[in-house]
């Protein structure tokens, strides 16, 4: 089972920031938080990942709480094309013995409204 | 930007037939994966592959499934005798090293009649 909890759905107005929360209260010290999204049954698209520091790239920002038990994905200026299911996944990143598989939950359906 | 590609985009087959789904991973990646998503359900891990052998597989990946890297660029998933319940989107993914970010292809929609 997925080790994360996300709201089933969220709405966001076009042009506004979309803040998608994720709870991962059982996260281990060597587990990263990954975010992917899936637009209408297309292949999951990698967005961003982080361990404990906040991260930003051209797509989004990732804010991880100090205790690492939750995080928020921020899309700074949502567009209609950002309508998708967003998955928060925790996984070990390393070598030797760690499983590499991604365990997807049901994610959050973000609907960006015009 | 390098990307994972998959062919065909759609495949319709009769129950009991063999199908081969093809993937071209990102060129310098070493780890390859197959996932599937039955309509309306979660994305599920099937198998991971490294150095010409399976490194991990799920319970779904039974004897009807096999994977192969027949040459330096392709990665294939074979279903020997398809069942109705094999109807799903099949996604290939690749990563540079173990534990690195996995990048997914667009998927193959398989419909078994």
- What are B84-100's pLDDT values in tens digits? 999 999 999 999 877 78
- What are B15-57's pLDDT values in tens digits? 999 999 999 999 989 999 999 999 999 999 999 999 899 999 9
Percent of chain B with pLDDT over 90: 84
- Residue A48 pLDDT > 70: yes
How far, in Å, CA of B102 to CA of B50, rounded? 13
> Read out DSSP for B47-93?
EEEETTEEEEE-TT--TTEEEE--SSS-EEEEESS--GGG-EEEEEE
Chain B, window 9-38: residues with a beta carbon less than 8 angstroms from a chain A beta carbon: 31, 33, 35, 37
- For the four alpha carbons of A6, A48, A53 and B28, in that order, the dihedral sign comes to positive
Of the candidates B42, B45, B97, the beta carbon closest to that of A105 is on B42
* Lowest-pLDDT choice from A50-64, A68-82, B18-32, B95-109: B95-109
Mean pLDDT for chain A?
92
CA-based nearest residue to A32, from A73, A87, A85, A89: A89
Q: Which residue of A has its CA nearest to B34?
A: A101
State whether A101 and B56 contact (CB < 8 Å).
yes
State whether B44 and A104 contact (CB < 8 Å).
yes
Interface contact B75, partner A, CB < 8 A: no
How far, in Å, CA of A60 to CA of A76, rounded? 7
Mean pLDDT for chain B?
94
Host H or E run for residue B46: strand B43-50
Q: What is the pLDDT at residue A96?
A: 53
B24 beta partners: B5
Interface contact B54, partner A, CB < 8 A: no
Q: How far apart are the first and last CA of chain B?
A: 37
How far, in Å, CA of A108 to CA of A86, rounded? 5
- Residue A98 pLDDT > 60: no
How far, in Å, CA of A89 to CA of A38, rounded? 13
DSSP helix/strand/coil, A82? helix
And the tokens for A107?
Answer: 């994610």
Can you say how many angstroms the Cα of residue A85 is from the centroid of all Cα atoms in its chain? 10
Q: What is the pLDDT at residue A2?
A: 63
Q: What is the pLDDT at residue B79?
A: 98
Q: What is the pLDDT at residue A1?
A: 60
How far, in Å, CA of B6 to CA of B49, rounded? 17
CA-based nearest residue to A71, from A2, A4, A10: A4
Q: How confident is the model at residue A114 (pLDDT cuts 50, 70, 90)?
A: very high
Q: What is the pLDDT at residue B86?
A: 97
Q: How confident is the model at residue A100 (pLDDT cuts 50, 70, 90)?
A: confident
Q: What is the pLDDT at residue A58?
A: 95
Average pLDDT (A36-65) is 95
State whether A100 and B99 contact (CB < 8 Å).
yes
């Amino acid at each position: 089972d997925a080790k994360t909890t996300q709201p089933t759905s969220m709405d966001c107005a076009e042009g506004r920031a979309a803040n998608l929360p994720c709870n991962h209260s059982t996260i281990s010290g060597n587990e990263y938080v990954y975010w992917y999204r899936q637009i209408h049954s297309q292949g999951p698209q990698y967005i961003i990942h982080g361990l404990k520091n906040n991260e930003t790239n051209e797509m989004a920002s990732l804010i991880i709480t100090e205790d690492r038990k939750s995080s928020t994905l921020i899309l700074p200026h949502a567009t209609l094309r950002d309508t998708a299911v967003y998955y928060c996944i925790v996984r070990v990143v390393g070598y030797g013995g760690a499983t590499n598989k991604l365990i997807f939950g049901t994610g959050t359906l973000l609907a960006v409204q015009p | 930007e390098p990307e994972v590609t998959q062919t065909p985009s759609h495949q319709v087959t009769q129950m009991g037939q063999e199908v081969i789904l093809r993937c071209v991973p990102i060129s310098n990646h070493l780890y390859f994966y197959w996932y599937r998503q039955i309509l309306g359900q979660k994305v599920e891990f099937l198998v991971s592959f490294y150095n010409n052998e399976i490194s991990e597989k799920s319970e779904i990946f039974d004897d009807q499934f096999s994977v192969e890297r027949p040459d330096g660029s392709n990665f294939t998933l074979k279903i020997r005798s398809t069942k109705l319940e094999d109807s799903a989107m099949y996604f290939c993914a690749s990563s540079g090293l173990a534990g690195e970010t996995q990048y997914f292809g667009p998927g193959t929609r398989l419909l078994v009649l």
